[in-house]
Each structure stands twice: as structure tokens, then as C-alpha cells.
Chains A and B, each alone.
Chain A
Amino acid sequence: MAEVRVKKETNLAEPAEVETRIRELCQQFPQGITDQVIQNDMPHLEPQQRALAINKLLSLGQLDLLRNSSGLLYRLKDSQTASKMKGSDNQEKLVYQIIEDAGNKGIWSRDIRFKSNLPLTEINKILKNLESKKLIKAVKSVAASKKKVYMLYNVQPDRSVTGGAWYSDQDFESEFVEVLNQQCFKFLQSKAEAARGGQQSPMVQRNSSFATSHEVWKYISELGISKVDLSMDDIETILNTLIYDGKVEMTVIAAKEGTVGSVDGQMKLYRGVNAVLPPAGLVKTPCGLCPVFDDCHEGGEISPSTCIYMTEWLEF
């Protein structure tokens, strides 16, 4: 009976106390609380009183109202944002919230318009305002060079926005990729040659010509070609281009957990290989490389008899 009485006392307490209790609850569940939680915690609180308290907190900007699948959700606003947003109106708060939700992927101003239902001019004004306060920043996306996306000032942009290590200022650094491509190949080739030189059994020879992606990564980072830090994944993308060049082969082997360079108990091994065939006979002739091959007919304007490419080739 005593407990009940105690509870009743709290229930009858001032609205201020209800507010603190709700705030405490919110702190307990940082991901947010539903109406139900408050009701369970303070079963004898009048719905009206509860609504009053929540509304007050909301108007003070201490609480966030979110909607999820199960209904409304209350969450505590962190005090930092609260202080940052001081002096901004509701529209600004709304836009800020939309940008915050977009996370590190950023959001396009048109999408902000759709989500907020504000006119574009208004949004532009707000965005400029927020930018000058260093609350948000505009990042140019690599996918579309003219498209600016907005995200919070302190957020590191996602790889899909910046393009990862291969982009600087939204430009793809093809020379950088080519240099890395060549260096990786050189490394694998020298390894294969060293393996071939030894007087070992063929099995050992082949196995020692393989290099793990980790070894390649180490070699490249020690070379210091790159100003940016490259990850193993970056190196593997480079190695993949070598596979598509037909210069390198890859196999996957099972590795003991915890071995250097293994991912999910697997290790990717790469090795340089030779071409299977010399260049085909067709491309040793001028016709094989001729840009006007399809227009060439005997007796026509372009014909084998009068072909200048053929003449040059024969004089060579």
C-alpha cells in the first residue's frame, strides 16, 4: 500500500516534475520512447497532463517528435544541437533535421524541397544561412558534377559521394590509377620471375610466384607513391583491373583466422602471367587496324590497290 501511495504522490506532483521524469526516461532510452512507456512508468498520470508536459518540452526544443512504424516516438534532443539552433525559426529547424537524417550520403536541395514542402527560394535562403553558421556544408558529388548535396558540417562524406581514393576534387585520377596499376604489375612480375629463377620443383615454383593482396598493399604503401591512404580494398580494385588486362591471375585460398591479410578466412592470391598467344595474324596487317575497313572495296574510292596504309606498310 505504501508504494501505491508514493506513486500517487508523484503523480499529483507539479508538471515540472513530470517533465523531469520524462527527460530521465528519455535519457534511459536514447533511441526514443513511446507514449506507452510513459504511461507504464506513470500509470496514474492523466493523459491531459502528459500531453501538456510533452508539448511544453517540445516547444522548448528539448524533445524530438519522431514517427516510426509503431506510432509516435519521443527522443531527447542533444543539448549541443539545441544550443546551435538557438535563434533559428521552425523552418530552419525542419531543414536542418532533414539534412541530419540524410547522414553521410547528403541530400540534394530538390529532395529537401519535396520533404519539407517549402518553396525553393525559401530553402535556398535557409541553406545559405545554415552554411554561414557552419552547421551544414555543401559537397559536390562525383556521380553528377553539377549536383550539390548537403550534409552536416562535421560529417565525413560517404565514398559514393566523393568517389573514394581515386578522386580528387571530383575528378577521376586516371594517371594515379595507371601508375598504381603498373606498379602492382611490376611487383607481381618480379615475384614471378624470382620464383622461376630458382631450381625448385614446379609446385613450389608456382606457389612462390603468388602474392597476397596484403603483400601488394604493403609494397605499395612502402613505396609511398600515394598521398592518400589506400585500403586493402582499394588495392584489390587495382589488382582486379590487372586481371581484366589479362596480365594477372587470382585464386582464393582458405586461410587460418587471424593470418595477416585474410578476410573471412579467405586470402586472395595474385600472380603475374604471360600471354597465351602472340598477337593474332590479322592485326599484323594494315587491314586488321584499318579505320575504314568496312568502306574498302576493289574499284571504290578506298580500295586495296590504292590504299595508303598498305603503301606505308610496304615501304616500312
Chain B
Amino acid sequence: MTAQEVRLCGLLLQEHFGEVVEKVGRNLLKSGTQNLRAIVHETGLSVDLVKKSLCVLVQHGACSFIQGRKGPGSPTEYKAHCDRVLRILRYPRYIYTAKTLYGDTGELIIEELLQRGHMTMSNTVKTVADRLTQSMDEGSSMDYGEVSATFSKLVETHFLQRCPPAAGAGTTGSSQTANSTSAAPASSTAPTPESFPDCYRVPQVTLIGRSKRSLASEEGEDQRNAKKAKMDPETHGDEGIYWQVNFERFHQHFRDQTIISAVANKLDQTSSEIVRTMLRMSEVTTSSTAPCTKPLSANEIFRSLPATYNIPRHILDQYLTLLVDDPMEFVGKAGESGGGMYIVNLNQALANLARATLESIVQERFGSRSARIFRLLLRKRHLEQKQVEDFAMIPAKEAKDMLYTLLSQNLVQLQEIPKTPDFAPSRTFYLYTVNQLPTARLLLQNCYKTVANLMERRLFEAKESKRLLEKSQRIEAILASLQASGAEPEQLTEVEEMITAPEKQQLDSLRLHVNKLDSAENQVDETIFLLESYISSSTKPTS
């Protein structure tokens, strides 16, 4: 965990859960595993507040607790998960994906689950149905069944999964009684959701009927509250089964989309459709960490291609050969049986895409000639300065300048190989080289810092025009209440004119700035995603 990560996590926590949670979270991230007492002492908050903050963090999976790490009877310790906090940055993308795949209903389900950490299915369905009904025209309402169907579909495609059953006290307690010697290691490994066989099983939920429209008026509120109280004791048959968003599955989806669009850029639309078909066929059969998909025969691919593409068999074979021949190595050939067995090299594709990202970053930041040197070094591994000049066809003076700049930014490394043990400069080879993985790590940290910078700037912009924002909010509220009470149009314009023209202009530009910063955050997150997946795919032992 780096300082940049902690800074970004702090900002994210502050934005989503407020300052108290941020203080607790930041403290946990900074000092690692801690017990309640230590957290209270270090943050200087009241015990009650700290407990509540920890609850929030645990609810969202950003924090876990272990009991008795230092022997039986020792206090429960809390540990924050940096990577989980960083997921908050990607929330907009998850929600957007759900919207494109499953429409508004899917969008709202994911949104609710992300906002609340984890929920039961019946609860989610009810909330989503209510929200949909709110936005619909007067007189129509959303059927629970429809929402449940979307929910089941999300579970079927593994976008949602069950939360592991309460990992804390229950499991560790039982393991301790069963085998006291192995208790410590057993409890220290957090149970993964995938390890439960029921992970993706949808429980029988008895939820029939339509959601009721809640009325805006005072008595409607009362009525709903009363109804809620009446409904609460109802059981839907899924108590205790909580659901959460399966981030891994979303990431798998993002990765597949990135690969598909890369193929479309590099080759053409048809090739990308073939790769899309291959990835869809192996979506559920391949685990998210596998280095490549299961082999698919050309016949299978042919049968699964959507009929609308109208690709004859021999053309498909040609496309597959082209994909295999392509130097980016997105698709590989695994065998000859069944008309040729093909795989998608997921890890290789990620590595190549990460390399392209690094190259593009160097190109944009240092110019295309520096990028030429950078690519040259990536290709040829180790080169002396003279060789770099010759291969890249760049005058010695400029090449030297660029190389040293890249070296000082740590994008290029220097390897000394002395001919004699005294490291005398005249008898030493100086070889320049690029190490892709450390460079990717470096740029990932830069990305974190950039996002944090953008967020701080956004907060700063908002703070600068705080007064103006408050004023405009107040006026909007007045306008709304006037409209509701059926005021005269002259009255409305009068209120509207309370915001002067320059103020209006300022508000508009502020909105523009905030939108720009927001979209920039999301764009940087795409880079973060690519680099993160590359790093995790190349460091994980491929089994």
C-alpha cells in the first residue's frame, strides 16, 4: 500500500461515507491491522463513532475482522482492504455496464447493492421496484416479478453473488473447537465467496404483487410508514442470504470488452465479432484468473456465431488464421482437431494492451521520438547508447537527451556491466533497458495520484463557489414549492431572476468544470483498470 493509494482511499471514503469514516479508514490503512482500542486511541474519536464507522466499512466489505490472531482470548482486530476501497472509483462504470446489459432495472439493482454494500434479494427487489414506480407515469407500477427476473439473470451471469456466511465469530469459533492447533492459519485466510457451492443459487423468494406508489404529500408518508411497519414482519423466505456485487465478474467483462475493441481497432469489425463470440462462449467455463480460455473448435465457433453476421465457413477459417498470425497474439491455436482448436490468450492480450498503454503514455508525454526509443528498447531488451541512436535514426545529441529524460523519470533503466571488477567507466558497458512490469507499477501509482489530484481539485472548485451553490439550491427549492402551489408565472420569473446573469454564468462554468473533472476521473480509471489487471495477471502464479 503506497502513500498515493492511502491518499486516494481517504478521499474516496470521505466522499462516500463522510469524514468520520474517512478518519477511521485512513488510520486502518496506514497502520495495518488494529484492535478497537488502538483505533479509538489513535483517531481520538469516541468509541461509539468508531464502532459505527467500522460497521459501515464492514458492511461494504472494505474492512474485515479477525479474532484471536495473537492467541485465544486476544481482542478482535480490524483490517482495511485498500483494493476494495479503490473499487468505489469504478462504481459509475459498474452501474453503466449493468444499464447497457440489463436496462434500467439492472442499473438500479447494481446501484442499490453498491450503495448499501449487501442486501437480501427481497429487499433489493422491493427498493428497486419502488424506485422504478416513482419514475414511471401516473397510474402504472412495476411488477416485483419482473425485477426478480432481472435479479436472477444477474445472478445467473455471476454479476451478483452471495456474501460468504458471517465469516467472523461463527467459523473461527467452530474451527477452534475442532482443531485448536490449526485454528490460527485457518482463521487468517479470508473465505472467498467462490468457495461456497451455493454461491450463485437463487433462493425461492415469495414476492408477488406490484409496488405501491408513495405519495409526496404528508399523509402519504404516514401511510407508507404504516405499511412498512406492517410489511416488515413479513417473511420472504430469504432471510440471512445476502447478496453483493461480484467485482471480479465485472472486471472480466471489462477485460473482454477491452480485448474486443482492441481487435476491432487493430484488424476489423468482423474479427472483433469472432473474438466476442469466442469470449462469450467461454464466459462461464473459464475462471477469471485463467491465463487463456478453454480451447474452442472452429466448428463450435462457427455454430455459435450470430446468424446476422453471415460469415461463411471458409471465411471464418481465414479470419481465425489471421487472428493467430497477428503479432498481438490475441488468439492462439491449441490444436488441429475439430477443424482447429482456438483459444484467447487473455494474459498475453493484457500484457500487450498494457504495453500499448505504456507506449502511448510515453508518446503523449515525451513526444513520438522518445516513444520510438521506448518501443525500440521494449523490442530489443538491452541496448547501448550508440545502438539506440543508430536503430532509432535520431541524432546523437537528441537521442542522449531523450534517453536521459526517460531515465530520470524511471521509465527506462540502466544496467552496468563492467569488464573489470573496478567499475571504471571506460571499461563498462552501459545498457539501457525497459522493464515492463515495474514501469506499469510506476504508472499505476501516477494514475492514483492523478485521480486524487482531480478529486481534490473538484472539492476545491465546489468549495470556492459554496455560497453560490447554496443560493442556487435555495432558489430551486423555492421555485419547486411555488410551482407545486400553483403560483403565477410572473412570480416564478421574479424568483428566477434572483440569480444574476454573472452568477448564472459562474454556475454554468462550475458545472462544466465538475463534469470535466468527473469524466477525466473515469478515463484515468480505465487506464488504472488495464494496468491493475495486467499487474495482477502477471504476478499471480499461473496454475
Contact = CB atoms under 8 A, between A and B. Distances in A.
Interface stretch (B39-47, B483-491, B499-507, B523-531): B523-531
Interface string A275-289: 111111111110111
Interface in A1-49: none
Interface residues of A, number: 45
B446 A282 contact: yes
B30 to A, nearest CB: 16
Nearest to B461: A314
Interface of B is mostly: helix
A255 interface: no
Contact of B457 (A172, A206, A237, A307): A307
A298 interface: yes
B327 A249 contact: yes
A280 B453 contact: no
A223 interface: no
B364 A277 contact: no
B153 interface: no
A285 B456 contact: no
A90 interface: no
Contacts of B251: none
Interface in A99-141: none
B319 interface: yes
A275 B356 contact: yes
Contacts of A196: 268
Given A202-B270, A202-B319, A298-B456, A277 B450 contact: no
Nearest to A237: B393
Contact of A305 (B266, B356, B392, B456): B456
Contacts of A241: 372, 391-393
Contacts of A310: 453, 457
A275 B267 CA distance: 10
Contacts of B199: none
A174 interface: yes
Nearest to A299: B456
Given A201-B315, A245-B371, A276 B262 contact: yes
A281 B446 CA distance: 12
Nearest to B319: A202
B450 A245 contact: no
B446 A203 contact: no
Contact of B376 (A244, A279, A289): A244
A276 B353 contact: yes
Contact of A283 (B352, B361, B394): B361
B262 A284 contact: no
A261 interface: no
B454 A285 contact: yes
A177 interface: yes
Nearest to B396: A172
Contacts of B525: 281
B425 to A, nearest CB: 17
A265 interface: no
Interface in B272-322: 315, 318-319, 321-322
Nearest to A291: B365
B375 interface: yes
A168 to B, nearest CB: 13
B51 interface: no
A314 B513 contact: yes
Nearest to B464: A305
A5 to B, nearest CB: 66
B449 interface: yes
A201 B247 CA distance: 40
A166 B394 CA distance: 10
Given A249-B327, A282-B527, A174 B394 contact: yes
Contacts of B453: 287, 296, 304, 307, 310
Given A177-B393, A246-B375, A280-B361, A285 B520 contact: yes
A277 B527 CA distance: 11
A293 interface: yes
Contacts of A289: 364-365
Interface in A252-272: none
B360 interface: yes
Contacts of B540: none
B270 A283 contact: no
A240 interface: yes
B443 interface: yes
Interface string B421-460: 0000000000000000000000100110110111011001
Interface of B: 262, 265-266, 268, 270-271, 315, 318-319, 321-322, 327-328, 352-353, 356-357, 359-361, 363-365, 368, 371-373, 375-376, 379, 391-396, 398, 443, 446-447, 449-450, 452-454, 456-457, 460, 512-513, 516-517, 520, 522-527, 530
28 contacts: A174-B393, A177-B393, A202-B271, A243-B379, A244-B372, A244-B375, A245-B371, A275-B265, A276-B262, A276-B265, A276-B352, A277-B262, A277-B356, A279-B363, A280-B364, A280-B530, A282-B446, A282-B523, A283-B364, A284-B520, A287-B453, A287-B454, A288-B365, A296-B449, A304-B454, A305-B456, A310-B453, A314-B513
